[in-house]
Amino acid sequence: MIYTGGTIGMVGSDKGLIPGGNMAERLLNQLQTLPEKRRRTLPAFDLLTLPQLIDSSNATPGDWLDLNRLIRHHSRRYQAFIILHGTDTLAYTASALSFLLPQNLPCIVTGSQYPLEKEASDALSNVEASLLVASSLINQPMAHNAGVIVFGGKILQGNRASKVSTHSAQGFDCINLPALGTCSEGKLSWSASAQMAAELKPTPDINFPQISTDAIHDIPQVVILKLWPGIQSQQIASLLAAPVKGVILESYGSGNAPDLNQPLLSAFKAATDRGIIIVNRSQCPEGSVSMSYAAGSALSEAGIISGYDLTCEAAFSKLTLLLCSNLSNKQVKEAFNRNHYAECSV
């Protein structure tokens, strides 16, 4: 178990909640409060605390690469990993780990909406469920075991999930893919879709490109740009300028942008001509972009590629990590178009 910070381990301070230390002892104390029968079914674990604990709103792509390195470093010694993470950017980290880690290595990401010791906190139940899911995945792996989110009784594919509530114990959901299963109060049940996913054998040629450990020194900049009614090209000029290498464009509906706004379309076209990769995904949580309207095809004419039904978090981490690999611009686009680990419906 790797403790990175987040509300799960937070304690009060004069500025508000901050990540607290001594997590191994605090967790063991809480686990002692579970009924003995349930405690006995949990696997043994060690807890590793990162040197700098953070509220996950401080997380950066560099933190994903650090976690990847740390997990790989310890992967001979442990059969599964559980990352205790803040919820705010948990889905970004889970998506990134799904692309970075070996698919046969169970890696679960969890956290909580309320601190471990707060009355009626969701923290202990999420930790218990994560431990159960970890031992289940050790015994019966799925096709993609890296970056699974366990939260609020649900088991979710991390690269398909988003934070959907600021406060509910059911804080995460997958809009475009059913939950892989449920796990609460010591009972775990896998859904039919997880069983189906288990039958999907990952083909070697669709593996995600390897990211070199040096990538951490030069992580390309990717920005997220949401369209709004009345958007003007000059308002986004600096976002489309170097050193930015990639843009996740959050368009309307099935992938539409204002096709009557020529300066905006020209600004997108000029950016893609300069080699910036722009991905079109919808602001709508459910469904895929199709760019079938004239207002959508104008974007593909401007050199913008489809983000299918990727979540914003998966699109952002996928593009950032592809830009970290030593691929040409054309190869990054081709790799982005591929469905690597069931992150999108292509």
- Give the footprint of ligand ASN on this chain (CB under 6 A): 6-7, 55-57, 86-88, 111, 113
In the bound state with ligand ASN, the residue whose beta carbon lies nearer, of 112 and 136, is: 112
Distance of closest approach, residue 15 Cβ to ligand ASN, in angstroms: 13
- CB nearer to ligand ASN: pick between 126 and 136: 126
Query: Annotated binding residue at 56?
Result: yes
7 is an active site residue: yes
Of 240, 241, 243, 345, nearest to 290 (Cα)?
345
E strand intervals along the chain: 2-5, 10-11, 18-19, 48-54, 81-84, 107-110, 146-151, 154-157, 161-163, 172-174, 181-184, 187-190, 221-226, 244-251, 277-282, 305-306
Rounded Cα gap, residues 292 and 256, in angstroms: 9
320 annotated to a ligand binding site: no
What's the rounded Cα separation, in Å, for the pair 96 and 314?
7
Give the nearest distance from C-beta 50 to ligand ASN in angstroms: 13
Residues, the chain? 346
Residue nearest to ligand ASN (CB): 86
Cβ-based neighbours of 302, under 8 Å, separated by 6 or more: 265, 268, 269, 272, 278
d(CA 212, CA 306): 26
Cβ proximity to ligand ASN: between 58 and 262 the closer is 58
Assign residue 34 a region (left: φ > 0; alpha: ψ between -120 and 50; beta: otherwise): beta
**Residue 290 counted as an annotated binding residue:** no
Of 168 and 283, the one with the shorter C-beta distance to ligand ASN is 168
CB 346 within 8 A of CB 308: yes
Residues 6+ apart with CB under 8 A from 118: none
Residue number, 86 or 158, with CB nearest to ligand ASN:
86
Cβ closer to ligand ASN: 6 or 246? 6
CB of 88 to ligand ASN, least distance (A): 3
> At its nearest, how many Å lie between ligand ASN and the CB of residue 52?
13
Task: Give me the catalytic one of 4, 7, 93, 320.
Answer: 7
Complex with ligand ASN: residue 52 or 57, whichever CB lies closer: 57
Q: Torsion-angle region of residue 182: left (phi > 0), alpha (psi -120 to 50) or beta?
A: beta
Residue pair 188/128 in contact (Cβ under 8 Å)? The answer is: no
What's the closest the beta carbon of residue 87 comes to ligand ASN, in angstroms? 4
Select which of 87, 89, 110, 311 is catalytic: 87
The DSSP bridge pattern shows strands 10-11 and 18-19 to be antiparallel
Residues 16, 22, 25, 27: is their CA dihedral positive or negative? positive
**What's the min distance (Å) between Cβ of 236 and ligand ASN?**
28
State the first-to-last Cα distance of the chain, in angstroms, to the nearest integer: 34
CB of 147 to ligand ASN, least distance (A): 17
- For residue 255, give the DSSP letter: T
CA separation for the pair 118, 64 (Å, rounded): 28
Distance of alpha carbon 249 from alpha carbon 274, whole angstroms: 17
Binding site, residues?
56, 87-88
Binding site for substrate, residues?
56, 87-88
Catalytic residue numbers read 7, 87
